[in-house]
Chains A and B, each alone.
Chain A
Amino acid sequence: MSFARLYKFAAGLGQYPVRLEGVIDTKAKALSSQDELHYVPVDLDPEVSLGHIKQYRLSQGVYNPDPLWVTEIRYFKDLNVCWRRFVCCKELMHVFDNTDERTDTLEKFEQLLDEIEAPLPADAQSPMYRTESITKWMAVLILCPKPVREFLRPQWEAGEMSDYEVALELRIPEVLIPSIMSPRYDLVYNLLVAPFEDQLELE
């Protein structure tokens, strides 16, 4: 439901590109009760990883029993703006991970790394591992909400705009455009947003 609320917010902006910093992330923070959110460009091996998220509790000292909830998104410092936005948006979507989906114990950390190294069949995947693909689609929906997609799709279908040109308009990686314009987008929308549409209308 929280993600669906974020999607409704993104779709309601009626603008593109959808601004991540100070707009989407502010709303995501509020919906997930995060206290702090930081983006840190780091030197990574892009063949291994383009980024990762680390969420942790930060003590506020002996006189304050409530720790701060901190989300830190580290991304490869040499990404262009389109990839930077997509990688960070995908990692940001993990603020909506539920208890089962969070890598918050040693055993779950080991399991996630093992599954990344040797993926299991779909019906055997852990909740943690499943979020890795779901959050990519969540990021796609946020960075290209349906109203924006429907606005650009006629020109794309008519061949008047190339994948590259659509990607430039959205400031997202070109490789995402075929998926955005495919029925897979509608399938994911129906899975993640449509079930909550009636409820969201009442809010």
Chain B
Amino acid sequence: MNTHIEKMKAVMFPAEGTNVVNVKFFLGSDRRVSADQLAVQLDRADAQIRSGAATRSHELDGHLTVKTL
């Protein structure tokens, strides 16, 4: 079966060697998530970045009013 996991395994860890050194996840609200569902998220994020649909952000913190202790 050609699942998303098999696809991500082949893309991220090909037989000829990988440049990936780490992948980790922050799970969502459904605690019964499957491995395939996570692979789909990884695949979609990769696709969005490759296509330019997702681009880097420089507004992570938003507007912060910093207070001193």
Report yes or no: A106 in contact with B41, Cβ–Cβ below 8 A: no
A47: contacting residue among B29, B57, B67, CB under 8 A: B29
Name the distance in Å between A180's Cβ and chain B's nearest Cβ.
16
Chain B hits for A64, CB < 8 A: none
Beyond A19-B64, A43-B54, A147-B69, whether A52 also contacts B28 by CB under 8 A is no
B residues contacting the other copy or chain, number (CB 8 A): 46
B56: contacting residue among A39, A49, A69, A105, CB under 8 A: A39
Name the distance in Å between A129's Cβ and chain B's nearest Cβ.
10
In the complex, what distance in Å separates the CA atom of A75 from the CA atom of B12?
19
In the complex, what distance in Å separates the CA atom of A43 from the CA atom of B12?
20
In the complex, what distance in Å separates the CA atom of A185 from the CA atom of B59?
29
B44: contacting residue among A42, A57, A112, A113, CB under 8 A: A42
Beyond A42-B49, A50-B28, whether A19 also contacts B38 by CB under 8 A is no
In the complex, what distance in Å separates the CA atom of A107 from the CA atom of B51?
29
A-to-B contact residues, CB < 8 Å: 14-17, 19-21, 38-59, 67, 69, 72, 74-75, 77, 81, 84-85, 87-88, 90-91, 94, 97, 102-106, 109-110, 112-114, 116-117, 128, 131-132, 135, 147-148, 151, 169, 171
